[in-house]
Amino acid sequence: MPARVRKKSEQVSDLNLIQKFSSLRSALRKRLSRNAVESLLPEPLPPEPQLPDPATDFAAREQAYLEQIRVLNESLDQAGQEARRRADEVGVVLRQSLQQHEHTWNTLLDQQAKLHMMLDSAHDAFVSVDGAGLIQEWNRSAEQLLGWNRDEVVGKSMAETILPPQHRQAHHADMSLFLESGKSTMINTRFEITALQRDGSELPVEMSIGHVKQQDGHLFIVYLHDISDRLVNQKKLLELLMTDPLTGMFNRRSFTERLPEAMARAERHGKTMAVLFLDLDNFKRINDDCGHDVGDALLCMAGERIQESIRQTDMVARIAGDELIVILEDLQHGETDALNLAHKIMQEFNEPFDIQEKSLEVSVSIGVALYRPGTLMAAKELVKYADQAMVEAKDAGKNRVVLSRLAAR
């Protein structure tokens, strides 16, 4: 069947169906009552909701926004108050901390000022030195003692400035040892040394070096005390201890110390030495007849004559009463030189002693004991042999020299 014919046939069928449905509906309406039709219809829909008034809705939203802003403002106010409270607390703490820091700083400044004042007014010279040996501080006493002003020495080497050349190498070596191992013979101790002054002269001082460990290195505290007066006093005291207060000659103590030293030198140098034991003849009679003042004056004059007769390298000492003793060193010809010096002394007594308008004739008896290198003899034995020889001289008639043969053997 052609397509156009088939399509036209389908359209006719549809039209017939529509007509039939319309007839059926009309018949149905007629048969059913109005109520029945209404009962078959669905229930009426609820009324549509009424749309809100735009103005009312805007006001509500505005009120809600305002409420939110109010709540937010209250929250911000509370947060601000809390922040201000905390800031106040932090501020109080900071102020207290700053006040404490300022107080501590002022205290440190006061202490530093006091320390500088104490150091400047200190009797001893004060020098501070860093780990490199460079001078950091130099007080007024150091200026007066050594001659340099503070500005001239700060930043310079302490060793090169105040230590004489002969001490610098030992100082550098000891400081290096301390920095490497903590060991030292100078740090935290006192020792005597000579210090170099600006004019080049050397001054005896007592030096003490202290050490302070710092975070960034080392600090050394040096004190120097002038001991010139002390050495002078020590020398005077030593002279009192080692000299006879009446005659000014060496005393027994000094002789006892010097003799072993002389014997040791004789051994080292291979030279003969000798001891002369002298006793003034008839001294007791003169002392009793003329008085002790005359006797004391006689001893002093006798000592001077003996001192003039011997060499500067020799020594004379008063060991008791009118007993004098002489040490002769470095005798080139041994026995000959010793006897010649003994006779020279004896000849000095040929001249009378004029004391208090009195002319006193006094002779001397001398015993000689030799000490040759290699001799096994103690100092006491040598003195004993010289004493025995002096007794022999007295027994032989006084005013003579006797050589000890015991010492020679």
Residue 19 lies in a domain: no
How many domains does the chain divide into? Answer: 2
Q: Is the pLDDT of residue 311 over 80?
A: yes
Residue 90 lies in a domain: no
Among candidate residues 183, 186, 188, the one with its CA nearest the CA of residue 212: 188
Residue 127 corresponds to which tokens in the numbers above?
Answer: 């020098």
Q: Which residues carry out catalysis?
A: 322
Structural domain of 256: 243-408
Q: Is the pLDDT of residue 314 over 90?
A: yes
Residue 216 lies in a domain: yes
In the beta sheet, which residues pair with residue 138?
127
| Rounded Cα gap, residues 387 and 379, in angstroms | 12
- The pLDDT confidence band at residue 406, using thresholds 50, 70 and 90, is confident
Residue 215 and residue 283 in one domain: no
What was the pLDDT predicted at 91?
A: 79
Taking only the tens place, the pLDDT of each residue in 141-165 is 999 999 999 999 999 999 999 999 9
Q: Is the pLDDT of residue 66 over 70?
A: yes
144 three-class SS = helix
Among candidate residues 407, 291, 302, the one with its CA nearest the CA of residue 358: 291
Residue 57: other Cβ atoms inside 10 A: 11
Residue 183 and residue 273 in one domain: no
* Domain at 143, CATH number: 3.30.450.20
Residue 226 and residue 253 in one domain: no
Q: What percent of the chain has pLDDT over 90?
A: 56
What was the pLDDT predicted at 24?
A: 60
Residue 226 and residue 249 in one domain: no
Residue 222 and residue 255 in one domain: no
Residue 20 lies in a domain: no
Q: What is the 3-state secondary structure (H, E, C) of 312-374?
A: CCCEEEEEECCEEEEEEEEECCCHHHHHHHHHHHHHHCCCCEEECCEEECCCEEEEEEEECCC
Residue 105 lies in a domain: no
Residue 362 and residue 269 in one domain: yes
Residue 343 and residue 263 in one domain: yes
Taking only the tens place, the pLDDT of each residue in 287-300 is 888 999 999 999 99
Residue 269 lies in a domain: yes
Taking only the tens place, the pLDDT of each residue in 243-281 is 999 999 999 999 999 999 999 999 999 999 999 999 999
Residue 16 lies in a domain: no
Distances (CA, A) of 80 to 67, 89, 336: 20, 14, 118
* Domain at 371, CATH number: 3.30.70.270
Q: Is the pLDDT of residue 30 over 70?
A: no
What was the pLDDT predicted at 294?
A: 93
Residue 321 lies in a domain: yes
Residue 203 and residue 341 in one domain: no
Q: What is the DSSP letter of 250?
A: B
Q: Is the pLDDT of residue 80 over 90?
A: no
- Angle between helical axes of 228-242 and 252-269 (0-180°, round to 10): 100
Residue 115 corresponds to which tokens in the numbers above?
Answer: 């320390």
Alpha helices in 32-121 (DSSP H): 34-40, 54-121
Domain ends where: 203, 230, 257?
A: 230
What was the pLDDT predicted at 46?
A: 56
291 three-class SS = coil
Q: Give me the mean pLDDT over the 344-369 stretch.
A: 93
Residue 249 and residue 224 in one domain: no
In the beta sheet, which residues pair with residue 239?
none
- Angle between helical axes of 335-348 and 292-309 (0-180°, round to 10): 140
Burial class (CB in 10 A: 0-12, 13-18, 19+), 55: exposed
| Rounded Cα gap, residues 280 and 261, in angstroms | 27
What was the pLDDT predicted at 5?
A: 46
Residue 179 and residue 126 in one domain: yes
Domain ends where: 172, 201, 230?
A: 230
Residue 276 and residue 320 in one domain: yes
Domain ends where: 230, 258, 292?
A: 230
Long-range contacts of 378-384 (CB under 8 A, 24+ apart): 379/256, 379/259, 379/260, 379/263, 381/407, 382/259, 382/263, 382/275, 382/407, 383/259, 383/275, 383/277, 383/325
Residue 150 and residue 172 in one domain: yes
